[in-house]
Each structure stands twice: as C-alpha cells, then as structure tokens.
Amino acid sequence: MVLRKNIFPRTKGEYLSTGSNVIFTPLNYYVFNFVVLPQYWTMWSEEYTKHFIISSFLTFMMCSNMLALVLCDTTVKGRFPALNKTRKDEWKYCDKCQTSMPPRSWHCTICNTCILKRDHHCFFTSCCVGFHNHRHFMMYLFYTALTTMYASYFNFRYAYDTTDVEYTWMTLVKLLFPMLSVFFIKWSLHHLYLLVIFETFAFGLMCCFMLVWCGYFISRNMVIFDKEHSKRYRKSVMENVQVVFGRKWYLVWQGPWVSSELPCDGTHWDKYM
Ligand SMILES: [Zn+2]
Ligand SMILES: [Zn+2]
C-alpha cells in the first residue's frame, strides 16, 4: 500500500465535517460505555462486559478501516510519468498534474490531484475514494452503521428514561435538537450526552443510506462521480464486487490488514466492456 503524504483537511467544510467526526467518535464511545451502559448494568458485571467488548470491537474495526481509507494513496500522479498528451485512446491528460491518466480516472479539485477510478471525495475523512481505498471506505461505512445502530438501541432507551419532564413540544425540541435547546433551556452535562446520542444516530442513518447507495453502484461496477459513463463497465455482480473488494471479498470484513488481490490494475478496463 502506498501511503498518502498529506492527510489533513484542505477546506473549511472539511475541517468542520472531519473535525466533528474525529471529536464525536471517541465521545460516542465514552457516552455509550461509561454513561449509558452503567445506567442499566453494574460496571464490569458479566452483562456490562459483554456489551463493552462488542462496542469496543466494532469501534476498533470502524477506526482501523477509517485509518486505512485515509492513509491509502489512490492517486494517479507519478504512476505514469512516461506518457504524454499525444495518446489518442481513452486516456486523458491532466494539465494541472501534468500526467496522463487512464480511463475512469478524474482530477479532484479538493485533493488537487488525479485519482485512479475516482468514486467521490469524502468530506468526513478528507480524502478521495478511488481504486485502491474503495474497499476500506465500504468497510468503514459498514462498521460505522453497525456501531452507531447498536449504540442507538441503548442510547435512545437512556434518553427516554433520563429525560424527566412532561412530554410537550419543548421536550421534542430538547430531544431532537440538543444544540438548539442550549439556547432555550438551561445547559447541563445531560444535554451534552443527548447531543452525542442524536449526533451518533444521525451519522449512523447517513452511513446506512450511503452503504445501500454505494453498494448499488458497486454491484454495477459504476462510480458515483461518473454515473452515466461508467455504466458501460458492467459485468456480473460477482465480478463487479471483486473490482472493489478483491478476489477474497468474503474475508475483508475481518479488517484492512487481510490481503485480497484486486482482479485488475485500475488502468486497463477493456475486459469489463
Ligand atoms: Zn490532475
Ligand atoms: Zn478528493
């Protein structure tokens, strides 16, 4: 795996979205394990430890896939130095990067580089999703969806049990918009927990939606960035899935360190047409 050199956000939007991701991930872990769970089970009792181990495992898998996604370099730059503007086939030339790029590769204006089989730019991790890190992105989505939905089941129970007020419209505001409630209602640590609980659920919902949406694209060997043009690369679902997850696609859930060789090099797409 070639490592990316600059993994930091580049725009204000990225600082905001990636920053909130970096802050809320450990906050969610803390609130779930040390605020919500102890409400129902004694710390380190058998039941508590069971949930602690499950949530720790899911969080670990989520973070390791995110790290692999962010660290993996999937750029075109420097990979094809000998090629030039004169190529007449489907290869393109990027003036900004001064490099030739194969079909399905595109220049990302945020990363300011060309990305091999570019899918889209992810603002929550400040990196582009392309040929070499698409698998890590999908596994990150999968484990984030699982972690947040698992936590939300207990989180909502906690939010309901501990919000000791009459159920009026203002309660709804308190529950749905903990941020807004800060302006109307007295601020407390409990509101911070509610904020984390609802942020976790909202982020989890978005990941579930993304998982289904991106899964649909992968099953057809399409990319989000180039929907129309990429329709022509469609093969059987199994072959399409292997383009992203590799030949050992059934093992990638075990972690980013499991090797799964990709069936093509991201450069030659003739056999998929
Ligand atoms: Zn470029
Ligand atoms: Zn990008």
Return d(Cα 219, Cα 223) in angstroms, integer: 10
Query: Do 39 and 104 share a domain, yes or no?
Result: no
Query: Do 149 and 209 share a domain, yes or no?
Result: yes
Ligand having the closest approach to the CA of 111:
2
Query: Do 16 and 135 share a domain, yes or no?
Result: yes
Q: Whole domain around residue 84: which residue ranges? A: 80-116
Calculate how far, in angstroms, residue 108's C-alpha sits from the geometric centre of ligand 2: 5
- Residue 62 domain flag: yes
Query: Do 160 and 108 share a domain, yes or no?
Result: no
Query: Do 143 and 190 share a domain, yes or no?
Result: yes
- Residue 264 domain flag: no
- Residue 221 domain flag: yes
Return d(Cα 53, Cα 57) in angstroms, integer: 6
Calculate how far, in angstroms, residue 133's C-alpha sits from the geometric centre of ligand 2: 12
pLDDT for residue 91:
85
Calculate how far, in angstroms, residue 138's C-alpha sits from the geometric centre of ligand 2: 16
Q: Looking at this protein, which amino acid is placed at residue 76?
A: V
pTM (2 decimals)?
0.90
Calculate how far, in angstroms, residue 110's C-alpha sits from the geometric centre of ligand 2: 5
pLDDT for residue 178:
58
Among 73, 64, 30, which Cα is nearest to 189's? 30
Calculate how far, in angstroms, residue 226's C-alpha sits from the geometric centre of ligand 2: 14
- Residue 272 domain flag: no
Ligand having the closest approach to the CA of 120:
2
Query: Do 93 and 222 share a domain, yes or no?
Result: no
Please check whether residue 66 is in contact with residue 140, taking contact to mean a CB–CB distance below 8 angstroms: yes
Please check whether residue 225 is in contact with residue 120, taking contact to mean a CB–CB distance below 8 angstroms: yes
Query: Do 233 and 186 share a domain, yes or no?
Result: yes
Query: Do 27 and 98 share a domain, yes or no?
Result: no
Query: Do 108 and 144 share a domain, yes or no?
Result: no
- Residue 2 domain flag: no
pLDDT in tens, the chain (273 residues): 888 888 899 999 999 999 999 999 999 999 999 999 999 999 999 999 999 999 999 999 999 999 999 999 999 877 776 555 566 567 888 888 888 888 899 999 999 999 999 999 999 999 999 999 999 999 999 999 999 999 999 999 998 888 765 656 766 666 666 566 555 556 678 878 888 998 899 999 999 999 999 999 999 999 988 877 777 888 899 999 999 999 999 999 999 999 999 999 888 888 877
Query: Do 135 and 235 share a domain, yes or no?
Result: yes
Ligand having the closest approach to the CA of 114:
1
**Residue 27, C-beta contacts closer than 8 angstroms, at least 6 positions apart:** 196
The number of distinct structural domains making up the chain is 2
- Residue 257 domain flag: no
- Residue 273 domain flag: no
Calculate how far, in angstroms, residue 82's C-alpha sits from the geometric centre of ligand 1: 16
Query: Do 137 and 188 share a domain, yes or no?
Result: yes
Structure tokens, 217: 């694209």
- Residue 55 domain flag: yes
Distance from chain centroid for Cα 5? 20
Ligand having the closest approach to the CA of 118:
2
Query: Do 35 and 153 share a domain, yes or no?
Result: yes
